[in-house]
Amino acid sequence: MNKQASCGPVEHWDLSDGKVAMLRSIGPQDAEIEQAFVRGLSEESKYFRFMTQMCELSPEMLQHFINPDPMREAALIVTVPRDGGGAEEEIAVGRYAMNPGNESCEFAIVVADAWQAHGIATRLMQALMKHAAGRGIKRMEGFVMASNIKMLEFMCFLGFEVRSSAKGPQIKLVSRPLDDMATI
Protein backbone atom coordinates (compact mmCIF):
# COMPACT_ATOMS: atom_id res chain seq x y z
CA MET A 1 0.00 0.00 0.00
CA ASN A 2 1.33 3.45 -0.87
CA LYS A 3 1.47 5.22 2.47
CA GLN A 4 1.55 8.67 0.91
CA ALA A 5 -1.65 7.95 -0.96
CA SER A 6 -3.26 6.77 2.28
CA CYS A 7 -2.99 10.28 3.73
CA GLY A 8 -4.17 12.06 0.64
CA PRO A 9 -2.40 14.32 -1.78
CA VAL A 10 0.50 16.59 -1.05
CA GLU A 11 -0.55 20.14 -0.15
CA HIS A 12 1.51 23.29 -0.59
CA TRP A 13 1.06 26.26 1.73
CA ASP A 14 2.34 29.79 1.15
CA LEU A 15 3.93 31.07 4.35
CA SER A 16 4.18 34.67 5.50
CA ASP A 17 7.97 34.72 4.96
CA GLY A 18 7.58 33.86 1.26
CA LYS A 19 8.55 30.20 1.64
CA VAL A 20 6.29 27.41 0.50
CA ALA A 21 5.65 24.62 2.98
CA MET A 22 4.63 21.15 1.92
CA LEU A 23 2.28 18.89 3.87
CA ARG A 24 2.70 15.19 3.09
CA SER A 25 2.77 11.75 4.64
CA ILE A 26 5.90 10.70 6.44
CA GLY A 27 7.80 7.69 5.13
CA PRO A 28 10.98 5.65 5.50
CA GLN A 29 12.88 8.17 3.39
CA ASP A 30 12.33 10.74 6.16
CA ALA A 31 14.45 9.09 8.87
CA GLU A 32 17.19 11.72 8.73
CA ILE A 33 14.93 14.78 8.71
CA GLU A 34 12.67 13.32 11.44
CA GLN A 35 15.64 12.69 13.74
CA ALA A 36 17.10 16.15 12.95
CA PHE A 37 13.69 17.70 13.67
CA VAL A 38 13.46 16.08 17.12
CA ARG A 39 17.08 16.94 17.94
CA GLY A 40 16.37 20.58 17.03
CA LEU A 41 13.38 20.97 19.33
CA SER A 42 13.91 22.92 22.54
CA GLU A 43 14.02 20.93 25.77
CA GLU A 44 10.59 22.33 26.64
CA SER A 45 9.08 21.32 23.28
CA LYS A 46 10.53 17.81 23.58
CA TYR A 47 9.17 17.51 27.12
CA PHE A 48 5.71 18.74 26.16
CA ARG A 49 5.59 16.37 23.15
CA PHE A 50 7.07 13.22 24.67
CA MET A 51 6.30 13.92 28.37
CA THR A 52 9.86 12.92 29.25
CA GLN A 53 13.36 14.29 28.86
CA MET A 54 15.13 13.03 25.74
CA CYS A 55 17.82 14.12 23.28
CA GLU A 56 16.72 12.18 20.23
CA LEU A 57 14.48 9.35 19.14
CA SER A 58 15.67 5.85 19.91
CA PRO A 59 16.21 3.69 16.80
CA GLU A 60 12.96 1.84 17.61
CA MET A 61 10.96 5.03 18.04
CA LEU A 62 12.38 6.46 14.83
CA GLN A 63 11.43 3.34 12.87
CA HIS A 64 7.92 3.43 14.32
CA PHE A 65 7.50 7.13 13.56
CA ILE A 66 8.58 6.89 9.91
CA ASN A 67 6.65 3.66 9.27
CA PRO A 68 3.14 4.24 10.62
CA ASP A 69 0.77 1.28 10.33
CA PRO A 70 -1.53 2.36 7.46
CA MET A 71 -4.39 0.31 8.93
CA ARG A 72 -4.54 2.23 12.20
CA GLU A 73 -2.22 5.25 12.07
CA ALA A 74 -1.48 8.33 10.00
CA ALA A 75 1.45 10.71 10.20
CA LEU A 76 1.79 13.99 8.32
CA ILE A 77 4.86 16.20 8.19
CA VAL A 78 5.30 19.78 7.09
CA THR A 79 8.55 20.60 5.33
CA VAL A 80 10.18 23.62 3.76
CA PRO A 81 13.05 23.66 1.25
CA ARG A 82 16.47 23.95 2.85
CA ASP A 83 18.43 26.98 1.78
CA GLY A 84 20.54 26.36 -1.30
CA GLY A 85 19.21 23.04 -2.50
CA GLY A 86 16.45 20.55 -3.05
CA ALA A 87 16.67 19.04 0.43
CA GLU A 88 13.78 19.40 2.84
CA GLU A 89 13.69 20.58 6.43
CA GLU A 90 10.92 19.22 8.64
CA ILE A 91 9.18 21.98 10.60
CA ALA A 92 6.16 20.12 12.04
CA VAL A 93 4.69 16.66 12.45
CA GLY A 94 1.26 15.44 13.46
CA ARG A 95 0.02 11.90 13.85
CA TYR A 96 -2.82 9.85 15.18
CA ALA A 97 -3.41 6.23 16.10
CA MET A 98 -6.83 4.63 16.29
CA ASN A 99 -7.97 3.52 19.71
CA PRO A 100 -9.51 0.05 20.19
CA GLY A 101 -12.88 -0.09 18.46
CA ASN A 102 -11.77 2.45 15.82
CA GLU A 103 -14.33 5.03 17.00
CA SER A 104 -11.70 7.43 18.32
CA CYS A 105 -8.03 8.18 17.87
CA GLU A 106 -5.23 9.70 19.90
CA PHE A 107 -3.20 12.48 18.28
CA ALA A 108 0.17 14.10 18.84
CA ILE A 109 1.55 17.22 17.20
CA VAL A 110 4.69 19.32 17.49
CA VAL A 111 5.94 22.35 15.57
CA ALA A 112 9.59 23.41 15.53
CA ASP A 113 10.16 26.27 17.97
CA ALA A 114 11.16 28.75 15.25
CA TRP A 115 7.95 28.02 13.32
CA GLN A 116 5.45 28.30 16.17
CA ALA A 117 2.79 31.04 15.96
CA HIS A 118 2.77 31.00 12.13
CA GLY A 119 -0.53 29.11 11.67
CA ILE A 120 1.22 25.83 10.84
CA ALA A 121 -0.23 23.94 13.81
CA THR A 122 -3.76 25.02 12.90
CA ARG A 123 -3.44 23.86 9.30
CA LEU A 124 -1.73 20.63 10.34
CA MET A 125 -4.37 19.79 12.97
CA GLN A 126 -7.17 20.54 10.50
CA ALA A 127 -5.56 18.21 7.95
CA LEU A 128 -5.13 15.51 10.60
CA MET A 129 -8.74 15.86 11.81
CA LYS A 130 -10.09 15.81 8.26
CA HIS A 131 -8.05 12.70 7.47
CA ALA A 132 -9.31 10.92 10.60
CA ALA A 133 -12.93 11.90 9.86
CA GLY A 134 -12.50 10.59 6.31
CA ARG A 135 -11.60 7.21 7.79
CA GLY A 136 -14.81 7.17 9.82
CA ILE A 137 -13.20 8.09 13.14
CA LYS A 138 -15.74 9.94 15.26
CA ARG A 139 -13.59 11.54 17.98
CA MET A 140 -10.01 12.77 18.31
CA GLU A 141 -8.34 12.97 21.68
CA GLY A 142 -4.95 13.62 23.15
CA PHE A 143 -3.06 14.11 26.36
CA VAL A 144 -1.52 17.51 27.14
CA MET A 145 0.67 18.53 30.04
CA ALA A 146 -1.32 20.83 32.35
CA SER A 147 1.64 23.23 32.29
CA ASN A 148 1.48 23.52 28.48
CA ILE A 149 -0.85 26.52 28.55
CA LYS A 150 -0.28 27.48 24.89
CA MET A 151 -1.30 24.00 23.72
CA LEU A 152 -4.37 23.94 25.95
CA GLU A 153 -5.43 27.35 24.58
CA PHE A 154 -4.81 26.08 21.04
CA MET A 155 -6.96 23.02 21.69
CA CYS A 156 -9.81 25.24 22.94
CA PHE A 157 -9.41 27.40 19.81
CA LEU A 158 -9.91 24.26 17.69
CA GLY A 159 -13.03 23.24 19.62
CA PHE A 160 -11.50 20.60 21.87
CA GLU A 161 -12.91 20.06 25.34
CA VAL A 162 -10.28 20.05 28.10
CA ARG A 163 -10.83 17.74 31.08
CA SER A 164 -8.91 16.09 33.87
CA SER A 165 -7.43 12.74 32.93
CA ALA A 166 -7.01 9.46 34.74
CA LYS A 167 -3.25 9.93 34.26
CA GLY A 168 -3.11 12.44 37.12
CA PRO A 169 -3.35 16.19 37.70
CA GLN A 170 -0.31 16.98 35.51
CA ILE A 171 -2.02 15.61 32.38
CA LYS A 172 -5.19 16.94 30.74
CA LEU A 173 -7.36 15.00 28.28
CA VAL A 174 -8.46 17.01 25.26
CA SER A 175 -11.15 15.66 22.94
CA ARG A 176 -13.28 16.77 20.04
CA PRO A 177 -15.94 15.16 17.86
CA LEU A 178 -14.99 15.02 14.18
CA ASP A 179 -18.46 14.98 12.62
CA ASP A 180 -17.98 18.48 11.14
CA MET A 181 -14.54 17.76 9.64
CA ALA A 182 -15.56 15.69 6.60
CA THR A 183 -16.93 18.82 4.93
CA ILE A 184 -13.89 21.08 5.46
Q: Which domains does the chain have, with CATH numbers?
A: 3-138 (3.40.630.30)
User: Quick one: pLDDT band at residue 184, thresholds 50, 70, 90?
Assistant: very low
| CA R_g for the chain | 16
Kindly give, in sequence order, each residue whose CB lies less than 8 Å from that of residue 28, ignoring residues fewer than 6 positions away: 66, 67
Residues in the chain: 184
Distance CA 108, CA 119 (A): 17
pLDDT in tens, 1-58: 333 334 555 788 887 777 788 999 999 999 999 999 999 999 999 999 998 888 899 9
Residue 78 pLDDT exceeds 80? yes
Q: Which of 50, 53, 52 is nearest to 64 (CA)?
A: 50
Question: What's the mean pLDDT in 168-183?
Answer: 88
Question: What is the pTM assigned to this prediction?
Answer: 0.88
Mean pLDDT of the chain: 89
Distance CA 51, CA 64 (A): 18
